[in-house]
C-alpha cells in the first residue's frame, strides 16, 4: 500500500510496513511451542516480544493523542520535517539493535508482556497496533510533529516531541524484532542439531 505525504512521513509509514513484514517472516511456519518457547529463564519468547511491542505502541500513542489534539486545535500545522532533535536522536540511538551493553534496561512494568501469550494472539495484537500508528500518522501528519511535545509515559518530567515518539516506536520495534529473530534462529539451530543426532 502506497502512503501519501511528505518524504519523512512516508518514511515512517515504510518503517512500520517493514516491521510488520519482518514480524510475519519471524512467525511464518512456527508452531505454538516454538512461538512461546523461552531460551532460558527470564528471557522472552517470540510471542512475548510481539506482545511487548503491541503494548508499548499503544501506551505511546495514548500519551501522544491529547497533545496532538491540542496542537490541531491551536492550528500548529507542519513547518518542518518530523525529525527528532538532538536529545531524541541520542535516546533513539540507544534503542537501535543490537542492544549496547549500557542500554540493556528492564522494560517498565506497564509494558512488560503477558507471560507466554498465544503466538497468533500476540501477532494479531502487534499488527493491530501497527494499524493504530499508521492511523495516527494519517490523522496528524500535517501537524508540527517536531514542535508539539508530550510527557514521556515512563519517565516523569521528560517530554518528547511527537516526531521523537514516532521514531521511538519504529526503532523500538526493530530492537525487539531483532531479539525475536535471535530466538527463532536459536530454535532452528537446536532443531537441526537434534535432527543430525537422530540421523546418526
Domain count, the chain: 1
Can you tell me the distance from the alpha carbon of 43 to that of 37, in angstroms, rounded to the nearest whole number?
A: 9
User: In CATH, what number is assigned to the domain containing residue 34?
Assistant: 1.20.120.450
SS3 77: strand
What digits encode the pLDDT tens for the residues 94-148?
A: 999 988 765 667 888 889 999 999 999 999 999 999 999 999 999 999 999 999 9
Q: What stretches of the chain show up as alpha helix (H) in DSSP? A: 7-27, 32-35, 46-73, 86-95, 119-140, 162-199
Rounded to two decimals, the pTM is 0.91
Instruction: Give a yes or no: residue 118 inside a domain.
Output: yes
- Structural domain harbouring 70: 7-199
What digits encode the pLDDT tens for the residues 2-35?
A: 677 899 999 999 999 999 999 999 999 999 999 9
The whole-number pLDDT of residue 103 equals: 61
Instruction: Give a yes or no: residue 2 inside a domain.
Output: no
132-139: long-range pairs with CB below 8 Å, 24+: 132/57, 132/58, 132/61, 133/16, 133/57, 133/61, 133/166, 133/169, 134/3, 134/13, 134/16, 136/61, 136/64, 136/65, 136/68, 136/166, 137/3, 137/5, 137/9, 137/12, 137/13, 137/166, 139/68
The whole-number pLDDT of residue 191 equals: 64
Instruction: Give a yes or no: residue 40 inside a domain.
Output: yes
What digits encode the pLDDT tens for the residues 151-194?
A: 999 888 899 999 999 999 999 999 999 999 999 999 999 864 44
Say if residues 92 and 15 touch (Cβ distance below 8 Å).
Answer: no
Instruction: Give a yes or no: residue 124 inside a domain.
Output: yes
Say if residues 88 and 170 touch (Cβ distance below 8 Å).
Answer: no
Q: What is the Cβ-side half-sphere exposure of residue 176, based on CA atoms within 13 angstroms?
A: 29
Say if residues 1 and 112 touch (Cβ distance below 8 Å).
Answer: no
Instruction: Give a yes or no: residue 82 inside a domain.
Output: yes
Instruction: Give a yes or no: residue 1 inside a domain.
Output: no
Torsion from C-alpha of 117, 123, 124, 130, nearest 10 degrees: 130
Amino acid at each position: 500500500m502506497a502512503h501519501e505525504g511528505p518524504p519523512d512521513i512516508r518514511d515512517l509509514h515504510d518503517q512500520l510496513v517493514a516491521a510488520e513484514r519482518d514480524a510475519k517472516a519471524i512467525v511464518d511456519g512456527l508452531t505454538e511451542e516454538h512461538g512461546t518457547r523461552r531460551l532460558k529463564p527470564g528471557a522472552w519468547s517470540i510471542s512475548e516480544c510481539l506482545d511487548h511491542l503491541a503494548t508499548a505502541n499503544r501506551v505511546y500513542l495514548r500519551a501522544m493523542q491529547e497533545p496532538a489534539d491540542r496542537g490541531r486545535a491551536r492550528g500548529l500545522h507542519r513547518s518542518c520535517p518530523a525529525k527528532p532533535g538532538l536529545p531524541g536522536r541520542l535516546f533513539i540511538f540507544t534503542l537501535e539493535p543490537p542492544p549496547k551493553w549500557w542500554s540493556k534496561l528492564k522494560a517498565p512494568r506497564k509494558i512488560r508482556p503477558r507471560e507466554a501469550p498465544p503466538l497468533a494472539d500476540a501477532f494479531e495484537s502487534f499488527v493491530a497496533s501497527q494499524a493504530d500508528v499508521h492511523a495516527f500518522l494519517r490523522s496528524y501528519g500535517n501537524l508540527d510533529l517536531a514542535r508539539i511535545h508530550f510527557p514521556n509515559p515512563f519517565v516523569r518530567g521528560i517530554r518528547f516531541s511527537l516526531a521523537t515518539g514516532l521514531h521511538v516506536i519504529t526503532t523500538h520495534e526493530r530492537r525487539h524484532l531483532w531479539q525475536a529473530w535471535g530466538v527463532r534462529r536459536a530454535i532452528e539451530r537446536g532443531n537441526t542439531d537434534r535432527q543430525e543426532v537422530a540421523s546418526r
